[in-house]
Chain A
């Protein structure tokens, strides 16, 4: 299995606080990889570093063999890495359809064009419609995104993330705050949209993690404590002590 995303000795310091403390991580192509860990372990920060939201203090991040450390989020996105956010981050005053359509304009090559009429771009329209249907929001197509229900907004968040056809998808707590049935629907959606892609997700729901992930990395105090298959992680005594045990209490 070839590696598509690799982190080498990545450090992140905010002032004098070390948040990420020398992370080494390799994610294989078409793998579903979950990052778990207690609160404050640095999971979201790790996503922010990979996606370029924050610069790293030292180390290296490679996407498909190319160094993407300290490049801008838009440059990283154009290279095929797209992320979602823990707190819903969409365009609240655009319709569901427009949210998705905006998210795929760059990858379809229209960039900053002011000489194409979007409504007449058949491929763009069809592609956006397809994604709106895949995330189950066809009936909400022309609704303003800001007035959707929470679960619908989370689905749209995923839709916006995948619309550009990125090879690597980072989902930050996609099922946080969802009811049981909503979580089940979200898992089905994540499974379908990550088909043939590389998925990395931060998730607290262990049912979701062990059901979806091919491999799991455990992050504790800014360091990777262990990486392995769900079975290996479950059997790992250090993980049990640091994390899973604490959860069971």
Chain B
């Protein structure tokens, strides 16, 4: 039997040459400055409080997903229990925050995420010692077992986990420091943004260290690592502990953001969710999980306000990504790097526009069908008449079904018909690239 991790190994790029990951320090500084500027300006672009809380949620997800990718993308460890370290960090922070609120502890809230990180690290040191003894499928299974174990103990120790209701806390403690009380969401956003930037830089820097480089070597070929002086188990263990540390920081920020921690935060759903984010974004690239975290957080919050069927779209999206872009969204960008460098991107665009338009038609029909089906089945709750793309639709009539079905079918046929245009353009670009490479 092949290892599970062999199936999820980092997808290789189309191009033979590796992308230049070793930026000069100056370029890195420029890059992080841009990220910092974006984080600073983002809340000013969106007025609504909804956007602000979503941005906060995204920042937490970005740290969490990046920490997960230290395991999966960088060291080749498929964990089904990474939320354990996020959740435990979150719970510890809730108790510490309550202690601060009660005046028993004097710690600025700004530094609370660090407490979460240390808690994550501590549990990572304990559980990771057992988990990282194995790799591949056994590792995945043990991580699942530990996740189950911790989730079960959440019900067994209500004093720490707060039972069904979880632990409630209040982030506004003591007097405001320099006018910051963390009462308004905007202040929490900037706290999250600051930690997010710090963690991103730290996790990126880690990939450039001996441990980070050896993690990639362990991912590629653990057997060979043993014959160049390294113990792959120890590399995995250290990466695991550090990943737990960053997950704990994200957990601490979640405590401050939501002011409540429930057992759900460390459950299997949460662990699956972070895997989903990292995978959709792309585990083969450092920034892949960032894209995944932002997109998935957005879809989860926004889509659910637009449609009842959001989980269906969500699952479908995942399946399609895994089938057609196993390298995630980041890989879709990466394959275009070489054509862009050689000025060949323009040859691909006509095909993309044509194919994309057909795809849009198909999706329109598909969404219409799904929405109508939902209104048909749950007519009592949702009403059998509703507005869809500006049209008044009555799902009890035959006509809207025929129209939606026809749009979908025509879109699908047109999409499949125009797909060769894109394929031919790519084939031509490949030939050209190879000629220039030689």
Contact = CB atoms under 8 A, between A and B. Distances in A.
Interface of A: 51, 53, 72-74, 77-78, 82-83, 85, 89-95, 98, 101-103, 105-107, 110-119, 142-144, 146-147, 160, 163-164
Most interface-central of B10, B227, B238 (chain A CB within 10 A): B227
B18 interface: yes
A160 B213 contact: no
B305 interface: no
B294 interface: no
Given A91-B224, A119-B208, A147-B16, A107 B213 contact: no
Interface residues of B, number: 34
A115 B20 CA distance: 22
A114 B224 contact: no
A107 B16 CA distance: 30
B216 interface: yes
Contact of A89 (B208, B221, B229, B242): B221
Given A92-B220, A94-B216, A142-B17, A116 B226 contact: no
Given A77-B226, A94-B216, 14 more contacts: A72-B226, A73-B226, A74-B229, A78-B229, A83-B227, A90-B224, A92-B220, A102-B213, A112-B211, A113-B210, A114-B210, A116-B209, A118-B208, A164-B229
B214 A102 contact: yes
Contacts of A95: 18
Given A107-B229, A144-B18, A91 B217 contact: yes
Contacts of B20: 142
B12 A112 contact: no
Interface of B: 10, 12, 16-18, 20, 22, 205-206, 208-214, 216-217, 219-221, 223-231, 234-235, 238, 242
Contacts, number: 106
B115 to A, nearest CB: 21
A50 to B, nearest CB: 12
A231 B208 CA distance: 52
Contacts of A74: 225-227, 229-231
A51 B210 CA distance: 24
- Top-3 shortest CB links A-B: A106-B229, A110-B210, A73-B226
A82 B17 contact: no
